[in-house]
Structure formats: C-alpha cells, structure tokens
A and B are shown apart, each in its own frame.
Chain A
Amino acid sequence: MLRNVRKHAVFYVMLALPVSYFLVFKYGPLVNAQIAFKDFSPLDGVWKSPWIGLGNFLTFFSSIYFWELLRNTIGLSLGKLLLGLPLAVILAIALNESALRRFRRIVQTITYLPHFLSWVVMYGVLLLLLSPDEGLLNAVIKAAGGQPIGFLYTPKWYPVVVILSDVWKEVGWSAIIYLAAITGIDPGLYEAAEVEGASRLQRIRFITLPGILDVVITIGLLRLGNVLDAGFHQIFVTYSVPVYSVGDIIDTWVYRQGVLDFQFSLATAVGLFKGCIGLALVLSFNRLAKRYTDSSLF
C-alpha cells in the first residue's frame, strides 16, 4: 500500500487539501455538537458544561411556533426546488439549443449575474420593483386601475416573492451545471438522430433529457438533503413582522432565540435536528431514486 501511495504521491497531496478542509471545518467542529445536550456555559466550556439530556430539543419542539417554522421552512425550500430546478434545466437546454453564440453568451451572463449579488443588494432591487408606492410593478398595477399591493408585507404574497426572487437570483448559476452535463453528451447521438429525421424537440426529449437525468437527480437529492435550509440571508433581509407567520423559518428563529437570547445550546440542538432530518431525507430519496431511475448518489 505504501508503495502505491508513493507511486501516486502527487494525487494524494492533491487529495490532502480537501480532506483536511473537511476534517478541520466539517468533522472537527462536530465534537462541539455535544452542547446540544448540555446547558452550555462559556466559562465551563464545551466539555465541562452539565448534561441536560434532551431539554434543548424539547424547548424547540414545544415552542408555539414549531409547526409554523417547520411548515414555512419546508414550504419555501420545496417551492424554490420545484420551481428552480426545472427552470434551470429548461434554461440550460435553451442556451444549448441557441444557434447564436453571441446571444447565448449574453443571456448566460445576464442570468447568472444576480448570483453574485448579496441579498442586501437584492432587497434594494426588490424594493424598487415591489414597493407599494413607487415600485415598478405597482406602478403598472396602478396604471391598469388596480390597488397597489404590499408584496413584501402581505402574507399572501411574501412566499411568492421569496420563491421567485430566489429562482431569479440562482437559476442562471444553477443552469451552468446542466449546461456542462449537456456538453458531455456524445454529439454522435444528435447527428444520428438528425439523420433519422428527429425533430429538435424529439432530440431534446430522447437524447438531452435522458443524458442529463443523472445530474438532475443528483442535484435534486443534494438539495433535498438541505430542505431545512430555506435561505437564512434572504429571509433575514426581507422579512418583517406582518409576514412572520409565513416567512419565519427555523434559521431565523434560531438566530433570534439562540444568538440574541444567548441560548447557544438551543441553537446547536436545532442545528443537529436539521442535520438529522437532512440525512434521513437524503438516504430515503437516494433509495427511491435507485429503485425507480437507476441513478443515485451512492
């Protein structure tokens, strides 16, 4: 084995960096997760703080907002996934099918540019678009004789704004990976299909989509594992009291209750709960994917 390692030393050195990253930043800190079961005191530190069993978990589960937080978190997260994923695939296919290279590049740049904007900047853009008084969209509504809508302050509209703005921000960036997957499809398949008289839509349906299905499933599974991460930054920047009932998610609750109320054990317990649910979801969906599509993560 040592001989083998020596033979491929360069590759092992390359591997060392990401492995170290995961060890130091992902696995190492797991030791501190024990404070989820403790009454953490900074003076006593992680190891000496007293054990309290499942008390922190029970505090979270017994919060009057528990079910609401869970519903909002999963709802917003799934909304983003169910709308964002197909749109990213469609955008990737559309870009791939475009014969105008220059146009394709411009569209690609424009669509993935919002990914690099912070949510603070995006909030400013949303205000310019959606403000009841001066927002562009409300100007159109008013011009058409309608009443202005407080999109960011109305429970009915807020989830829509959250999902659509996230899709707008991320769809271009997400499309890149599907675009890469499409370029990996054997061009001979398209040529053969063209010779056989397949239309463009038929080529997409029978060559492109099956060709990228593995990637779509993998990405979908990974996203499902993070279904309890509904986008802290986005919600934190955009939510307000009138829309707490539909916008408050687990992470924003943890921020308020854990960090601002100085209850770090509680915050860690909720983080652990999220991690366990995420793991269970990934394992379940991986099994389902294996059974029905022959594609899976492992």
Chain B
Amino acid sequence: MRKAIVLALFATFLVVGAMGAGAQAKLVDIDLWALGAVTEAGNPPDNWVGYQIIRDKLGINLHLVLEPSTPTDQDTKISVAAAANSLPDVFGVNRDMLMKIAKAGLVAQVDSLLPKMPMRTKIHYNDPVRTKLVQISGKMYGLPDPGAMDRVEGVVIRKDWLDKLGLKAPKTLDEFMAVAKAFTEKDPDGNGQNDTYGFGAFYESTGLSSAGFGRRFDCILGAFGVAGMWNLDSAAKFQFNFRDPNFRKAVEFIKRMNDEKVMDPTWSAPNKDEFRARWKQGKFGIMWEQFAALHTQANYKDFDKNFPNGEWVPIMPPVGPQAKSSNGIDIAQARIYAVSAKAMKAGKGDAIARLLEWMASDEGYYLCGFGVEGVNYKKDAKGFISFDGIAPELAYTHKSQQPITQLRNMVYINNDIELAVRYPTYKSQNGKTMDPLATWKFFKNSPYTESTGAGLIDPPSNANDFKRYYDENLIKFALGQQPLNDQTWADFMRGMDSLGAKDIEKAAKAKLIDAGLLD
C-alpha cells in the first residue's frame, strides 16, 4: 500500500512537473529596449506587477532595457548593436538611424503585424503622415507612436522686468531688440549689478531638420520667413532656406544681437541644462522655451524660489520686416519602435503584436501609464486620474515611483486624461495660479511654419560633414569669428553645394512629391 502511495505521488510530481515545463516552454522571450520616461530613475523593479501580467496573460517573458536619454546616445547604442547584428527584438529608434539600419536589412517589415493588433493600430498608427516617416518603398519598417505634443515651444518674456522698466512686450523685431537691450543695460532685476541679458538660448541642433543655429532661434528666423531648414511652400519654391536672401538678413540680425551683447554669451554652447539653470537664476528676460520645461510645478519651483514675484509670460513671436512671424516649424514626428529582422525570423512577431496590443488595452494603458489603480492613482468614471486618498509617496508622479511608469511613452497618446494629470494647475509662492496648459494653448495659437514634410527627408551619407559645415559657418558668422559679407556668404553657399546641397535638394523634392507632401 505504502509503495502504491509513493508511486502515485511520484507520478503526480512527474505530471505536474511536465505541465509546468510545458507552460514554461510556451513563454516567449522578448528583449525590449525602450525609450524610458525618466531614464535616470532606472528600470521597473523585478517584482513589478506588469512583468507578471505580461507573463501570465500574454505568455511573454519581457526583458526590459532602458535606452540612454539623449538621441545621440540612443543612436550610438543602436548603431553599435546593429553593427554586431545583435539588435534586440523590439527597440525605440530615431528616424534617421532607423532608415540606415533598415536599408542594411537589419529591421523587419511590420505591415503584417498591424492586423494582429487592431486596437493599437487604430489608436496609435492612424496617422498617414506619421506612417510615411517609417516607410521605405511603401513598406513600414517601424511602428510610429504619436510623438511629443505639437507646438509646445514659443517665445516667453519676464513680465516683471517689463513692468519694472515701464516697457511693453515687443511685437516687431526692432522692439524685440530694444527690449533685449533694455533688459541688458537697465538693471531690470534691480540688484544694482550689470548681470542680466536680454535674450538667452543655447545651440540645440540634433538633426538635419534643426541644423544651423538650432531651434532656439526659430522665432528670429521665422520673422524673416526662413524658420527651419527648408522652404516647403510649394514644389516650385522648394529649396534650402539658406538660399533665400532673407536668410542672410536673419543671420545678420543674430550677429547684431551678439555684437551688441544683448544675448547671454553662452548661447553658442550645446548645454541645455546650463541654459535652464540660467533662466532660473534670472540671467536673461526673453527666451524660446518649451511650455512644460517652463511652467510645470517641478520645473518652475527653483525660479519661483529665487524670484517669488518673477513672472514669465508667453508672447507672440516678433514680426519681421515683411510682416512675417513664426514660433518654429510644424514637422512630422513620432516615437518609433522597430522590430529586428532577427526577431521576426525567429517567429516572435505574434508575441510582439500581442504585447503592443495589450499595452493599448485599458489594462495595459493604465498600468504602464499610471501604475496600479488604488495604489498609485485613482480613476473616476470617465477615466480621469486623481490622487485623492493616495499617499503622496505612492502617487505615480512621486520620484520614488517613477520606475513603474517607465513605459508610459509607449502607451501615451496625448489625450485629455494624460494632459489633465501631467500638467495640473498649482499655486506659485505668491499665490498666483499657474496653468501650464494655458501656456501651451497660447503657443498652439501662435504662428508656426508648415514644414510637415521636413521630417521625411533622409539625411545624406555625409550628413555629419554637411551639418557641421552649415552649423559651424553660421555660428562663426554670428559670433564674428568670420566676416559676413558678399564674398564670404558666396563662399559659404559654394561650400554647401560642394558638399552636395543640390543633390540633397533634388532627392528631397522627389521624395516629398512622391509622398504627396509637396505640390
């Protein structure tokens, strides 16, 4: 009898063990390199409930790696992995890099995955222009999630400085210069020291579409009708903006700002952190800034502490000599995820589609976007988020909870639920109501230059030499490191052509006409 019991138990163990092994064998390993929401906060903990749900419900063993936070470092990581043919199964990638590695055959076509994730396709991949960003010969090589919000940047000015000096917000370029000069010379902060500047900026140029002075000067270039790299008004007018005579006038204006020392002298350095530290220290009174970087509570608090009565307000971009003005360019953009050819070949396509579809479901959306309901947030009947009764240190917005929503940029779609909770109103130190979304709405209603197609233009093979030559010459002109006259300007243009500017224009024009974005 005892023998029979032992045998029965042994058989049971064998069966259970075999079942376990069977279930284990069904799990698909997926390596995901994600564009983390707050990279420095680190990965979700090993016991993150999301891993368990993904394992139990989707049969996927998710291995998550967060990519570096800057586009250049992301490119480096992807490029090196691609060269070793060891790209992960799914990975976030910038468009220019995607085009290079897709042409090398390392990225899978993903059109076949769309029917397998109908909900996500409907919510995330529904924009035809975004789709064109990831297509080569009509085939999709990436999955284009909605990118950052549009028109989030614009010109802002220190209203308290204007009031102190009895000035009005500038409307024209001449007034812009006059106010910048007054901010530099008339001690607007009243500390008795000559330590302020009119305009602050930094060199923010990450790709061909933002080459030159970088995006912080878009409002100046826009006043001359030459914001951005390209003139996309029509096929007949299509060209690089630097060929437009007004472009040189814009460069001359920036040079004048530099010569008259109304610009913070660090403007030509590529240091965003330094730039943001300096406006919080009250170093300058006009800038082109992103609304959330300026007005959300976390970002505004240092400025608020230093200047409780200080006030940044958005203004319309200055109007130039031909009555033109622009805060920047409207350009097609997306957060792109790609599937490696290797993963598709290994038959992981279905599992990847399952994972992405789940992320677009209510469960995936709220879990990846906001944490666990009742623990990290509460949800009302309409799905809006609140923190009533949630311990502050457990709210998903708290620093200690940042790792659990690292994947939020894979689920966010910039809907009202997200905007309301991401950019809540709050009170400043002097009791003023701060409303970041009001600043965004102001920018949204300000003039921007239509430049959607610029996002589709592929970089040339010598992109780095090309961009370096362009950026370097413009900045040297503005800094006075090389004279700006007819001769030097003609040399500059010749140099651009010797680097293939005409061929780039020709290829770009053909591509945009083909995509239906230029006529």
Expressed in whole angstroms, the Cα–Cα distance for A262 and B195 within the complex equals 45
By the criterion CB–CB under 8 Å, are A261 and B499 in contact?
Answer: no
B343 to chain A, nearest CB (A): 14
The tally of residues in A whose CB lies under 8 Å from a CB in B reads 32
A137 to chain B, nearest CB (A): 14
Q: In this assembly, does A133 line the interface, its C-beta being within 8 Å of a C-beta of chain B?
A: yes
- Of A63, A133, A256, most buried by chain B (CB within 10 Å of CB) is A133
Give per-residue flags for B97-138: 1 if the beta carbon is below 8 A from chain A beta carbons, else 0: 100110011100000000000000000000000000000000
By the criterion CB–CB under 8 Å, are A153 and B76 in contact?
Answer: no
By the criterion CB–CB under 8 Å, are A261 and B464 in contact?
Answer: yes
B473 to chain A, nearest CB (A): 10
By the criterion CB–CB under 8 Å, are A240 and B268 in contact?
Answer: yes
B112 to chain A, nearest CB (A): 20
Q: In this assembly, does A201 line the interface, its C-beta being within 8 Å of a C-beta of chain B?
A: no
Q: In this assembly, does B469 line the interface, its C-beta being within 8 Å of a C-beta of chain A?
A: yes
By the criterion CB–CB under 8 Å, are B72 and A260 in contact?
Answer: yes
By the criterion CB–CB under 8 Å, are B97 and A262 in contact?
Answer: yes
A residues less than 8 Å from B479 (CB atoms): 153, 242
Give A150's nearest chain B residue, CB to CB.
Answer: B265
By the criterion CB–CB under 8 Å, are B106 and A241 in contact?
Answer: no
B residues less than 8 Å from A65 (CB atoms): 465, 468
By the criterion CB–CB under 8 Å, are A240 and B100 in contact?
Answer: no
B residues less than 8 Å from A155 (CB atoms): 481
Within 8 A of B (CB), among A129-183: 131-133, 148, 150, 152-153, 155
By the criterion CB–CB under 8 Å, are B76 and A262 in contact?
Answer: no
Of the listed stretches B10-18, B79-87, B433-441, chain A binds B79-87
Expressed in whole angstroms, the Cα–Cα distance for A131 and B266 within the complex equals 8
A residues less than 8 Å from B100 (CB atoms): 261-262
Within 8 A of A (CB), among B458-493: 461-465, 468-469, 471-472, 475-476, 479, 481
Expressed in whole angstroms, the Cα–Cα distance for A42 and B107 within the complex equals 12
Q: In this assembly, does B158 line the interface, its C-beta being within 8 Å of a C-beta of chain A?
A: no
Q: In this assembly, does B24 line the interface, its C-beta being within 8 Å of a C-beta of chain A?
A: no
Q: In this assembly, does B358 line the interface, its C-beta being within 8 Å of a C-beta of chain A?
A: no
Known contacts A240-B203, A240-B270, A241-B472, A42 near B85 by CB under 8 Å? yes
Known contacts A42-B84, A242-B268, A260-B75, A63 near B465 by CB under 8 Å? yes
Q: In this assembly, does B498 line the interface, its C-beta being within 8 Å of a C-beta of chain A?
A: yes
Interface size class of B (residues with CB under 8 A): 35 or more
Q: In this assembly, does A43 line the interface, its C-beta being within 8 Å of a C-beta of chain B?
A: yes
B residues less than 8 Å from A150 (CB atoms): 265-266
Q: In this assembly, does A53 line the interface, its C-beta being within 8 Å of a C-beta of chain B?
A: no
**Which of these, A45, A64, A153, A259, contacts B465 with CB under 8 Å?**
A64
Known contacts A261-B463, A261-B464, A241 near B85 by CB under 8 Å? no
**Which of these, B82, B97, B203, contacts A241 with CB under 8 Å?**
B203
B381 to chain A, nearest CB (A): 49
B338 to chain A, nearest CB (A): 14
B residues less than 8 Å from A259 (CB atoms): 75-76, 79-80
Expressed in whole angstroms, the Cα–Cα distance for A150 and B266 within the complex equals 8
A63 to chain B, nearest CB (A): 6
Expressed in whole angstroms, the Cα–Cα distance for A248 and B464 within the complex equals 12
Give per-residue flags for B272-298: 1 if the beta carbon is below 8 A from chain A beta carbons, else 0: 001000100001000000000000000
Expressed in whole angstroms, the Cα–Cα distance for A152 and B269 within the complex equals 9
B residues less than 8 Å from A248 (CB atoms): 468
Q: In this assembly, does A190 line the interface, its C-beta being within 8 Å of a C-beta of chain B?
A: no
Known contacts A43-B105, A155-B481, A262-B97, A244 near B79 by CB under 8 Å? no
A residues less than 8 Å from B203 (CB atoms): 240-241
- Of A153, A155, A253, most buried by chain B (CB within 10 Å of CB) is A153
By the criterion CB–CB under 8 Å, are A245 and B472 in contact?
Answer: yes
Within 8 A of B (CB), among A85-117: none
Expressed in whole angstroms, the Cα–Cα distance for A298 and B229 within the complex equals 57
Give per-residue flags for A30-62: 1 if the beta carbon is below 8 A from chain B beta carbons, else 0: 000000000011110100000000000000000
Known contacts A41-B105, A260-B76, A260-B79, A244 near B472 by CB under 8 Å? yes
By the criterion CB–CB under 8 Å, are A261 and B461 in contact?
Answer: yes
Expressed in whole angstroms, the Cα–Cα distance for A259 and B283 within the complex equals 37
Expressed in whole angstroms, the Cα–Cα distance for A245 and B479 within the complex equals 14
A157 to chain B, nearest CB (A): 12
By the criterion CB–CB under 8 Å, are B265 and A262 in contact?
Answer: no
B289 to chain A, nearest CB (A): 19
Q: In this assembly, does A119 line the interface, its C-beta being within 8 Å of a C-beta of chain B?
A: no
Give per-residue flags for A225-264: 1 if the beta carbon is below 8 A from chain B beta carbons, else 0: 0000000000000001110110010000100110111111
B263 to chain A, nearest CB (A): 12
Expressed in whole angstroms, the Cα–Cα distance for A53 and B283 within the complex equals 55
Give B78's nearest chain A residue, CB to CB.
Answer: A262
**Which of these, B104, B265, B468, contacts A132 with CB under 8 Å?**
B265
By the criterion CB–CB under 8 Å, are B464 and A148 in contact?
Answer: no
A residues less than 8 Å from B469 (CB atoms): 64
Expressed in whole angstroms, the Cα–Cα distance for A234 and B84 within the complex equals 27
Expressed in whole angstroms, the Cα–Cα distance for A42 and B481 within the complex equals 43
Give B85's nearest chain A residue, CB to CB.
Answer: A42
Q: Could you list 17 A-B pairs, sorted by A, with CB under 8 Å?
A: A41-B105, A42-B104, A42-B106, A43-B85, A133-B264, A133-B266, A150-B266, A153-B265, A153-B479, A240-B203, A241-B268, A241-B471, A241-B475, A242-B476, A242-B481, A257-B465, A259-B80
Interface, chain B (partner A; CB < 8 A): 72, 75-76, 79-80, 82-85, 97, 100-101, 104-106, 195, 203, 205, 264-266, 268-270, 274, 278, 283, 341, 461-465, 468-469, 471-472, 475-476, 479, 481, 495, 498-499
Interface, chain A (partner B; CB < 8 A): 40-43, 45, 63-65, 127, 131-133, 148, 150, 152-153, 155, 240-242, 244-245, 248, 253, 256-257, 259-264
A-B residue pairs, 9 tightest by C-beta: A42-B85, A256-B464, A262-B100, A132-B265, A264-B83, A43-B105, A241-B471, A242-B268, A241-B475
17 more CB-based (< 8 A) A-B contacts, given A42-B85, A42-B104: A43-B104, A43-B105, A64-B495, A65-B465, A153-B266, A155-B481, A242-B481, A244-B472, A245-B472, A245-B476, A248-B468, A259-B79, A260-B79, A260-B464, A261-B100, A262-B104, A264-B83
